[in-house]
A and B are shown apart, each in its own frame.
Chain A
Amino acid sequence: MKKEDTVKLISAEGFEFVVDKEAAMVSQTIHNMLTSPGSFSERQHGEVTFPEISTTILEKICQYFYWHLQFASGKETEFPIEPELTLELMMAANYLHT
């Protein structure tokens, strides 16, 4: 795993999640940020800040990215979501096109 192949996602509270680009690109929004032409600062520094997504939700989303990759490779497990996170998670997923 090379540093260039990872991206740092930063939550509203400034917590950082370092994930594989392949995993983060499960999100269409992040995919667009990282691949669109031009010199987006996101692309240059490999960092994306989400001032509107709380740390708990962002971590859950990162777990979802990896679960998605595992599922795609044939590992059929359930993705657990705590009921109290559901609304906020859906709003974030909508924003991220995930």
Chain B
Amino acid sequence: MDMYIRVKRIKTTYFIRCKPSDKILDIKQYLEELIDQPVNNQRLILPGTGEVLDDSKTLADQKVENDAVVALTLRKDDNEFEEVNIVKPSDFYPSRDSDSANW
């Protein structure tokens, strides 16, 4: 096994096994198996920079390395893509400050 990436959307993380020479389209085809969404309805984005990954380029071309986190967004009913939405565990527990504001 060469490498894996972590594809995240909302509260779900998909661990995808892949090779540096895999194209982004290949990754989307792996995802299609798992999420029943055609590749055309998927967009993969680097959460750090917001860069949209190009179907025809490879993971290595776009500096996507082992254990990298990639955001998945899906096409909405109005044909636009949704915004990147990755929930972190820390978002899930409201901080003490926001708690006390509700009292």
| Residues of A contacting B6 in the complex (Cβ-Cβ under 8 angstroms) | 59
Known: A15-B87, A17-B13, A62-B15. A69 touches B33 (CB 8 A): no
Known: A62-B15, A66-B4. A18 touches B92 (CB 8 A): no
Q: Is the CB of A63 within 8 A of B67?
A: yes
Q: Is the CB of B89 within 8 A of A15?
A: yes
Query: What per-residue 1/0 map shows which CB atoms of B8-48 lie under 8 Å from chain A?
Result: 00011111110000000000001001100000000000000
| Residues of B contacting A18 in the complex (Cβ-Cβ under 8 angstroms) | 12-15, 34
User: Is A6 interfacial (CB-CB < 8 Å)?
Assistant: yes
Q: Is the CB of A54 within 8 A of B15?
A: no
In the assembly, what is the distance between CA of A62 and CA of B31, in Å?
18
The A-contacting residues of B in range 41-90, CB under 8 angstroms, are 66-67, 87, 89
In the assembly, what is the distance between CA of A62 and CA of B16, in Å?
11
In the assembly, what is the distance between CA of A16 and CA of B92, in Å?
14
| Residues of B contacting A14 in the complex (Cβ-Cβ under 8 angstroms) | 11
In the assembly, what is the distance between CA of A56 and CA of B13, in Å?
12
User: Is A45 interfacial (CB-CB < 8 Å)?
Assistant: no
Known: A18-B12, A20-B17. A1 touches B34 (CB 8 A): yes
Binding site for A on B (CB under 8 A): 1, 3-4, 6, 11-17, 30, 33-34, 66-67, 87, 89, 92
